[in-house]
Structure 1
Amino acid sequence: MKQRILVVDGDAACRDALRVCLHASGYDVAVLYEPGKMEKRLREERPALVVMASGAVLGSGLAALKALRRSGDDLPVIMLGERDDAVERIVALECGADDFITKPFNAHEVLARIRRVLARAKDVSFQDPASRPPFSFDGFELDFASRTLRFRGEAVPLSERDYAILNLFTSAPNQVLSRERIAQGIWPETPYRPGSVSAAVHRLRRLIMSRSAIPDLIQTVRGTGYVFCSS
């Protein structure tokens, strides 16, 4: 399955240059003109990485980045600076940008930096699971080190697929995950099939509902995907 890159920039020439280069390199590309609408877009589809204009004059790109990081989302973001300004670069990095590139840019340099950031993000995501504390919700405890789930102290049988989906959900509680995003996390080398994702989530939902007093821990977002509701 192709990794999706979201390009957020009001400059059509920049968007087109990146779209052509990234498509030629095997990426799927989505575009957005206004950073202020990024939060809504991320609820509908989850890219692997965002390339976003900083909006140095209006600050809209930086504001969107700040909001993303305040929410606890560590989605990789590369900022595109409007001018060669050290202050702008420093502010973007301090706001949580993973990298910063000044316009005008070479699209192939952006591609190289995207690959580097994605590789770094992958290394982090596959760190020792024992370093992540157990996740508790409604009487359940998911232990990432042992890949086990318990409900009020009793073991709950989980298949590898069940664990993979629950791991995704607990990594992004209260965030909408698209069916495609879930499929990418579970079957990264397999063509995307919405029906397979629906069946897998339905099985996990039944497993949890058979024990939980809260029936809507995993909610369907019509036309989009699912959200794991955790207080």
Structure 2
Amino acid sequence: MQKRILLVEDDETIREMVESYLTMEGFLVTSAVNGEEALQNCLNKPFDLVILDIMIPKLNGLEVLKIIREQASLPIIIMSAKDSDVDKALGLGLGADDYIAKPFSMLEFSARVKAAIRRATKYANQIEEKKDLIEIDNLSIDLINFSVEKSGQQVKLTSKEFAILKLFVTNRNRVFTKQQIYQLIWNDAYYGDENIINVHIRRLREKMEDDPSNPQYIKTLWGIGYKFEG
């Protein structure tokens, strides 16, 4: 999928040069010529990267940077002719991911752009992966690989036991009736046979709880059902 870049530059010559080069590199580029236009674009459309000149009209680049950073976590590269340590410190301190001074080579510029997008993509993927790995005290539950560890030791669960556990840990503190559990896990009508649910809950507790008779995680609400605390 093509990455979308917002280019904020009021110098027409530089803007056209950068836009042309990035387009040739396979990026989808949207241009803005002042701070207000930059904010309208950035806060209303999805972008993978913002390239932001400091010296732009209406709102300067540092003001735009501050507002964008309050609303979004996408990578931002400051691009400016003001190549002083103070400007760099201000830009990076306000949340810019990189700073490149004019004039610059397009080869270096393209490398910086690709590196910023690559870092952001890697970070986003790591966050997504963490959502699939749930850690509760000494339990580690991998929802993608259908595996569970307790204190570093593999816990062997049947497919139905894991499905019940997944239902619980992705809906912590929510109460499920036995009917709901049966219909969601077995995908079938429930006719009041509680034994199959009771057996699976007992086995889960035996495998996961330190004291199955006094469970820490899978709690019984008498006359209602079960919930997972943790």
Give the shorter-chain TM-score range: 0.5 to 0.7
Matches of 1:19 and 1:9, distance apart in 2:
10
Task: Call closer, same or farther: CA 1:8–1:128 in 2, change over 3 Å.
Answer: closer
Partner of 1:47: 47
TM superposition shift of 1:129: 4.3
TM superposition shift of 1:35: 1.8
Task: Call closer, same or farther: CA 1:45–1:59 in 2, change over 3 Å.
Answer: closer
1:131-170 to 2 correspondences below 5 Å: 131=130, 146=143, 150=171, 152-153=174-175
1:52-67 to 2 correspondences below 5 Å: 52-55=52-55, 60-67=60-67
1:54–1:60 Cα contact (<8 Å) kept:
yes
Task: Call closer, same or farther: CA 1:63–1:54 in 2, change over 3 Å.
Answer: same
Matches of 2:31 and 2:108, distance apart in 1:
19
Partner of 2:96: 97
1:8–1:31 Cα contact (<8 Å) kept:
yes
Matches of 1:20 and 1:13, distance apart in 2:
11
Larger radius of gyration: 2
Percentage of pairs with the same residue: 26
In structure 2, give the amino acid aligned to 1:94: G
In structure 1, give the amino acid aligned to 2:21: C
1:56–1:88 Cα contact (<8 Å) kept:
no
Deviation track 1:115-146 (CA, whole Å, cap 9, x = no partner) reads: 0011111110111547569xxxxxxxxxxx74
Partner of 2:121: 122
In structure 1, give the amino acid aligned to 2:28: D
In structure 2, give the amino acid aligned to 1:7: L
Partner of 1:205: none
TM superposition shift of 1:112: 0.6
Task: Call closer, same or farther: CA 1:13–1:150 in 2, change over 3 Å.
Answer: same
**Aligned CA-pair RMSD:** 3.2
Larger RCO, structure (CA 8 Å, separation 6 or more): 1
Partner of 1:22: 22
Task: Call closer, same or farther: CA 1:24–1:130 in 2, change over 3 Å.
Answer: closer
Normalization by structure 2: what TM-score?
A: 0.55
Matches of 1:97 and 1:132, distance apart in 2:
26
Count of matched residue pairs: 147
TM superposition shift of 1:41: 1.0
Unpaired segments ≥5 residues, structure 1: 134-144, 158-231
Partner of 2:157: none
Normalization by structure 1: what TM-score?
A: 0.55
